[in-house]
Chain A
Amino acid sequence: MSDETLHELDVRRQLCPIPVIKTQNKVAELAQGEVLRVTCTDPGALNDIPAWCRINGHEVLATEEGDLEVVVTLRVGAPSVAL
């Protein structure tokens, strides 16, 4: 497992909770320690993706808020209980 791998997810023009759902589904494909950078246009993602990370044990490395886009970078935590 390398923490060097940077994965990208483009959820621009999608409204919450879709960015969260797509982040959740993408993270499920990744291994612990891998890094995912999510680009969104819904400003709500700036609250929702970090909240989702906190409750599911993933680490938010950075959030960036631009005029039109927000970017959340996270590191995948321990695998979750399968539901």
Chain B
Amino acid sequence: MSEAVAPVTRPSADPLQRRAIALVSGGLDSMLAVKVMQEQGIHVEGVNFFTGFCVEGHTHAIRKKDKDKNKRNNALWVAEELGIKLHIIDISEEYKDVVLNPKHGYGAHLNPCLDCKIFMVNQATLMLNKARELAGEKGFDFIITGEVVGQRPKSQRKETMPIISSESGADDRLLRPLSALNLPETLPEREGWVDRSRLHDFSGRNRKPQIELARRFGLEDYAQPSGGCCFLTDESYSRKLADLWQARNERRYELDDIMLLKVGRHIRPQPHLKLIISREEGENRFLEGYRYQFTSLTTVSCPGPLALVDGRFESEAELEQAAAIVARYSKGRGDESVTVEVKDPGGVAREVRVAPARPDDIPKNWLVA
């Protein structure tokens, strides 16, 4: 049924057309980098890496109140706008080592931006090498990114750009078209595949040159760079991840862990016990999918949230404390007592009747955010 690996052939009739792999995040910079290459006749294909921490339509997909927000995947949308193929690669498993052991350390939060960029360019380099192995000169010739010198405090600095090139193994096959004139000449420029004089000298955090270039290319609709594309640059998210590691006494995570950090209200009433409480119907539905993995609590005498228990109850008092917290976020918060169903992952359920917690019963430092 499955076919052998497809022959790697140039889609263009021009045997001299050079080919580049572009790291496509879905943001404006990588979009412009591709445009600049296409303007010079380079054939470009995109790669987009899924780390598990990507800020995509996730939260919009989950939360009902965000239902009307645009749910498109920006990388796919950009690829379609540019008329390029896009390969989305799941690197979430291999990426753990980048998050847990960043050689170059973290940024302001748990964001290992420099190691991340090295890792991604390395992945693209491996793909490039594999394609060259299969097809020789008919494979890919170089890699491009939308990096701009001085734009990001951790990874996009003048002194870190060469580190990314060398440690990724891409060396001078890595070209940054938007900032090339601030950097040493690369192979595609030296070989004349790309005209260096038509590359750019963007630098710093000022976005005006990018916006002007977008205008020149006739690009009007593009993702606004608000808060980056990775949850690890988010202070609240990083705190939740640090809390998870502290509670487990070890630095590790699974994909489900980091997805759940994106959802709900996180409350830790005991060092070994955290509640993930849905804030609305969409989150409720999302958390439903995890009831076979976690003990869950939900109010039955009145409408209320669904809560997952990360950890386990060591006593009946802890169970009742958790039930009272869940009742606090239900419609019965003003009632004398509320019935809460406690269901284990195997589906065995029982009910407890508790007085809803009062605001003072939930100290601020229990809220993980």
Contact = CB atoms under 8 A, between A and B. Distances in A.
Interface of B: 1-3, 5-6, 8-9, 11, 21, 45, 47-48, 50, 54, 56-58, 60-62, 67, 71-73, 75-77, 79-80, 83-90, 127, 130-131, 134, 140, 259, 285-286, 289
Interface of A: 5, 13, 15-18, 20-21, 24, 28-32, 34, 42-44, 46-48, 51-52, 54-56, 68, 79-83
A17 B88 contact: yes
Contacts of B76: 17, 20, 48, 51-52, 55
Contact of B2 (A16, A30, A42): A30
A17 B56 contact: yes
Given A81-B6, A82-B134, A51 B73 contact: yes
Given A54-B80, A55-B80, A16 B61 contact: yes
Contacts of B71: 16, 43-44, 46-48
B50 A21 contact: yes
Contact of B85 (A15, A28, A48, A80): A80
A9 to B, nearest CB: 15
Contacts, number: 108
* Interface SS majority for chain B: mixed
B73 A17 contact: yes
Given A15-B58, A81-B8, A83-B21, A52 B87 contact: no
A83 B2 contact: no
B8 A82 contact: yes
A82 B80 contact: no
B61 A81 contact: no
B290 to A, nearest CB: 9
Contacts of B127: 83
Nearest to A54: B80
A20 B88 contact: yes
Nearest to B288: A13
A82 B54 CA distance: 25
User: What are the nearest 10 A-B pairs in CB distance?
Assistant: A79-B6, A44-B71, A13-B289, A44-B57, A51-B76, A48-B73, A42-B61, A29-B2, A47-B72, A15-B58
A56 B85 contact: yes
A12 B61 CA distance: 13
